[in-house]
Structures are given as structure tokens and as C-alpha cells.
Amino acid sequence: MKFINLTVFFSFLKLINPMIYSEIFPAVSGAPNGDIYLHFAYPIRLPAKTVITIHQSFAMWQYPYSLIPDKCWCNFDYLWCQYNGQVQFQTSVEIPPNKIIEIYLDAAISLSLTAAGTHPGFTVTASWLGVDIAQDFSSSNTVTIKTANAYSTHNWQIVFDIMTPGAISNYVFKLTSDSDINPGYKIVVNFGRKVSSWICEPKNLNIAGDKKSLYYVGCHSDTLGDISCIAKHWYLIITGISKTVLAGNIIDFTLENLWTPVFGYFLVKYFILDTNDDVQSYTDAVGFTINNDFPSGYIDFKSLRVSDNHLLNAAKYEFEFYVGSMNLGNYYILVLFPQQYNFAINPPFTCNLTYFDESSQTPDKEIFWVFLSDCNYDNKYIAIWVPPENTRQFTSNMRLKVAIDSIINPKYACKNTGFASWENPNIEDDDYVSGKFDIEIFDPSIAKSIAKSWEMHHNVYTGLSKPNKIFQFVSKGSYYIS
């Protein structure tokens, strides 16, 4: 057998320069925990198990610790990410020639107070089986670090509509800044790693051109004008500022439909960017503590039935579930629909509450409880009010049913990629399904939920637009075919 000398075989490739585009945020002197985004491509095929190394010499890496795998993100699957003087990835798949590679590194570098200026930028090298197959000798790639004013902010306040950890809520921000904010500026809010990087169910507005991949979050402001908000990793970017807010005045903005943090303490950072997207001022992290009191009760689903699962058709949704032992009255029953449902196009909902007493001699007898001809909705919740005069004691042997009529099915569905198949053999990988539904029992007197269904334990999905096959399943493993 004749062995190939890999060093000779790949030697002619070593001078290949990838085209590198890079961003650092915040790119200001003295800023700790700067994020790095790299965008590059090689004109050659990179075999699986290629090691890509990222080099830089203008800042201190923040990575000599075991958490580095949690700080690395790439648009291609990789086997590992490690710090070894520089940051390295090993790919798990072959990458075709000229295919864009995107790498995002969280809290990667610390910039010194004297770092302002232009420096040689990032270089990336690639090796396979210990042999360099591509080296970057480009001198045109540079990084510019600027100075910015470290202003303070006062009277920071965040208010959540719903305080239940993990619930969908509006975030209402109010603060006073020492820096002017002018039309065309941007405000960037960083929520820190104790908040999920998907703090929201983002709405892809599918805008054409270079904005088609942006994810927007609903937001509004009385002081900043008609703003738009973009979700990007742990950042929320506020654009469209049309009003001037002078230093010392109050800024307010509300972010809609975000997940409430499940950690009791989290950090928020705040940056003001000018019309050139340069950081004009920033604050150190401001800490917030929220009541991390999880609901003591849980919702245990039995079924979800949908009268018509075809896209954009009107349908009746019937949820059956158990609430355990609970004196249920003077509360809201909140039914949270997946992100693809759009209540703005809906006619008025009718909601009907009934229950079954499984311990009785007629366990299948449906007992009337509450009827609402026009039940409320807010964001993605349908809110069903149970008035005090209808208070009823439920036990673990009683099954509650919520029937909501006139729901308009969404215009798109999610292709199942196997997440449900292992639990339900009737759901195939090419089936289309909704996102998950959740139900909460909400006490308005304390602005918290006292019982909740929990992801991957007590929630349901439904199939959508599958001809001649309508199925619903409960994530615990129960399912229904009709």
C-alpha cells in the first residue's frame, strides 16, 4: 500500500486566503466580555474533522476555563470547541468550497483601556489530520477599536406583566440616561447568559433583501418614537428611534412576548449607538432580582382535539386536562397558542368550560361549568375568566375541558424533524405539526400563575394540513388518531 505524504499533498493550498468579515461588540476600549462574529469562506473543500483555528493578537482571550463549549456557535455542526492559546473548532461534516462559515463567540475578549486604534485583524487557519491545509496571510483584514463614554444610567426598572418564571410576558423598561439619544440612534440591550439566548418567540417577518433573516420582536415606546426591535443572540436591538431624548430625561420601551427569566438574578447591559453604529456610551451590567417562585401546581394534559386541521380554516379546539386538587375560581385559565397563530385575523372566540368526574358512576358525563360568548385574548393567550360565583373544588379525579370555537388555523406549519416521532409512532418525520400549546391557571391578585403545563412533560401539539390524517398527541406519549 502506498501512503500519501499529506504535507506534500496539501502544501500548494497553504497560501489560500479566506475572505474574512468580522465584527466585535462592543468594539470600544476598556470593554470586557466582547462578542466576536466571523464570516468567511475557503475556495477549497474542507473534509470532516477539519480543525479551524481563530487567531488574534489585539485583545486578551477570556477563555481559559471549562465553559468555552457553551460560548461557541457555528452554522456547521462541529465535534468540539476549545481554547488552546487560540480558539479552535473541529468540524463534524464536510464543508464545500466557497461555503460561508459563520462563527459566533460569546464574551470572547477583553479590550484594554489603551486598545483604541486600528490593529491587524482576525486570521483563520485550517488543518486536517495534523497537517495545515489552508493558512491565512492576509494583511488587509483589520480591526478598529474606538473610545466611548462610560455613562451611568439611573432608576433602572423592569416590570413583567406576568411574573411566573418561563411564562410569556411583556418587559417594561424605564431608565434615566446621562447620554443624549438622537433620531437614527440605536439602543442595544444585552440580557446576559442567565436569560436564554432565545428569550422570545421571534417573528420572522420574511423581509426581502438583506433583512430577510432578521427576527423581530414586538415593541413600542412613548419616548423614542415608532421603534422596531430585532432579536440577535442575547441582544435586543432597538431601531427606528425618531425622537430626541436629552440626558437626564426618562426613556421607556416595552418589549412584547418575551420569556420571563427562570433565574432569580440576572444582568442587563445597555449601549447607545450613533448613526454610524459606533458605541457612544454604555453602562456596566445592572443586576435585577425577580421572585423565582415556580407554580406549585401543574397541568396534566389528557388530549387536544381539533375539528379541522387544515391551514387557515376555522376550527374548534378542545383541551382536556387535570389540575389536581385546587379550589378553582376568581382565576383566569390562560391557553397559550404557538407562535404561528395570529389572533388579529380571528372573529370573536366563544369559550366553554365543562368537566368530568371520573370518580362518579358516570365518568363520561360532561358537566357544564362556565360559558363565555366573547372570551378575551392578549398576545398569544386566550384568557378565560372564572368568576368567584363559579368557584369549584377540583380533585385529581376530575378532568377539566376547555372548548374554544372559531380559532383560525395558522397559514403555515412546522415540519416535524423527529422531535415527536420517538414519543408517538403515528407521527412521521415528514408530517407537519404546530408548535406546543400550554395552559396556565393565573391569579390576577398576585400577577402569577399558580399552575402550569411544563415543556416536554405536560403539553400538547396538533397536526396541521395533513390530508386524510388528523392527529393530536400529548408529549407524555398519549395520542389520538381521528
Q: What average pLDDT does range 365-379 have in this prediction?
A: 84
- Which domains does the chain carry? 6-145 (2.60.40), 153-289 (2.60.40), 297-481 (2.60.40)
- From residue 373, alpha-carbon distances to 184, 288, 370, 405 in Å are 46, 41, 10, 10
Helix (H), strand (E) at residue 266: strand 265-273
The model's pTM? 0.60
pLDDT tops 80 at residue 411: no
Burial class (CB in 10 A: 0-12, 13-18, 19+), 81: buried
288-297, 361-370, 455-464: the lowest-pLDDT one? 455-464
**Residue percentage of the chain with pLDDT more than 70:** 71
Q: What pLDDT is stored for residue 17 in this prediction?
A: 54
Rounded CA gap, 267 and 269, in Å?
A: 7
Rounded CA gap, 119 and 308, in Å?
A: 61
**Pairing state between β 448-452 and 297-298:** parallel
Q: What pLDDT is stored for residue 169 in this prediction?
A: 74
Answer for the pair 253, 162: CB distance below 8 angstroms, yes or no: no
Q: What pLDDT is stored for residue 420 in this prediction?
A: 39
More confident call, 79 vs 213: 79
pLDDT tops 80 at residue 194: no
Rounded CA gap, 421 and 439, in Å?
A: 23
- Using alpha carbons, select from 50, 53, 22, 208 the residue that is nearest to residue 120: 22
pLDDT tops 80 at residue 367: yes
Burial class (CB in 10 A: 0-12, 13-18, 19+), 13: middle
**For all residues of the chain together, what is the average pLDDT?**
76
pLDDT tops 80 at residue 369: yes
pLDDT tops 60 at residue 417: no
**Residue percentage of the chain with pLDDT more than 90:** 19
Rounded CA gap, 444 and 212, in Å?
A: 39
Rounded CA gap, 376 and 334, in Å?
A: 10
Q: What pLDDT is stored for residue 277 in this prediction?
A: 85
Q: What pLDDT is stored for residue 198 in this prediction?
A: 42
CA 377 to chain centroid, in Å, comes to 22
pLDDT tops 70 at residue 64: no
- Using alpha carbons, select from 15, 49, 16, 42 the residue that is nearest to residue 129: 49
Residue 355 — pLDDT band, cuts 50, 70, 90? Answer: very high
Helix (H, G, I), strand (E, B) or coil at 4: coil
Residue 171 — pLDDT band, cuts 50, 70, 90? Answer: confident
Q: What pLDDT is stored for residue 179 in this prediction?
A: 80
- Cell readout for 120 is 491587524
The beta strand positions in 285-330, using DSSP E, are 286-289, 297-298, 300-306, 314-322, 326-328
pLDDT tops 50 at residue 205: no
Q: What pLDDT is stored for residue 465 in this prediction?
A: 60
Rounded CA gap, 344 and 133, in Å?
A: 55
Rounded CA gap, 363 and 397, in Å?
A: 9
